[in-house]
Amino acid sequence: MTGTATTTATTKVYRVYIRSTPEAIWDAITKPEWTRKYGYQVLADYDLRPGGRYRAVAPEELRQAGMVEVPIEGEVIELDPPHRLVQTWRATWYDEPASRLTYEISQQRGEVCSLTVIHELTGAPQTLAQVNGELEGAGGGWAEVLSDLKSLLETGSSLYA
C-alpha cells in the first residue's frame, strides 16, 4: 500500500497496487462472494446501473455479534466496469449525510493494477473518523480494507483468514 494522501480535510484518497486484473478487482468490490472474504466481511448488494441501490448486508454471524443488518447503504451514480464505480456511501448507524465514494481501477505495468479509492466526506465527521481507522474497536478503515483486499487477490487468503 502506498499510503494515504489527504487532498482536503474531508476528501481522502487511498491507492494500492495489486497484482491482479481489473476484472478481478472489480468483482472483489462488487460481488458478495468476494466482499464476504475481506475487510468487514459484509455482502455487497449492488444494482449496477446509475440510480441503482447499494447495500452492505451483514451475514447472520455478524448480526449475532451486534452488527446491524445493513451497516452501509447508498446509490450507484456512475459506472464503467471494470474501471470506475462512483456511488454514495452512508453508514446507517450515524446521523450524517451520505458521502461520495469513487473506485478507480487502472492497468499499470505487466500484471499490476492500481486501485484508487476517493472518499469525499464533507459533513460526515463520524464517518471520516471511521474510514480513517481512528475509532477504537472499529477496525482500521480503508487502509485495512484495501490491504486485506490486496492480500486476498494476490495470495487467495485474507489477512485474518
Number of domains in the chain: 1
How far is the C-alpha of 133 from the C-alpha of 54, rounded, in Å? Answer: 22
The DSSP symbol for 42 reads P
Instruction: Please give the order of strands across the beta sheet that includes 112-120.
Output: 4-8, 11-19, 112-120, 99-107, 84-91, 72-80, 53-57, 43-46
Please give the average per-residue pLDDT across 26-47, as a whole number. Answer: 95
pTM greater than 0.85 (yes/no): yes
Q: Is position 160 within any domain? A: no
- Give 3's pLDDT tier (boundaries 50, 70, 90): low
CATH number of domain containing 13:
3.30.530.20
Predicted confidence (pLDDT) per residue in 120-152, tens digit = 999 999 888 888 888 776 667 888 999 999 999
Phi, psi of 107 (to 5 degrees): -70, 130
Whether residue 85 contacts residue 79, with contact meaning beta carbons closer than 8 Å, is answered with: yes
Which residues form the domain of 18?
A: 4-155
Predicted confidence (pLDDT) per residue in 54-73, tens digit = 999 999 988 998 889 999 99
Q: Is position 31 within any domain? A: yes
Predicted confidence (pLDDT) per residue in 75-125, tens digit = 999 999 999 999 999 999 889 999 999 999 999 999 999 999 999 999 999
Q: Which residues contact 66 (CB under 8 A, 6 or more apart)?
A: none
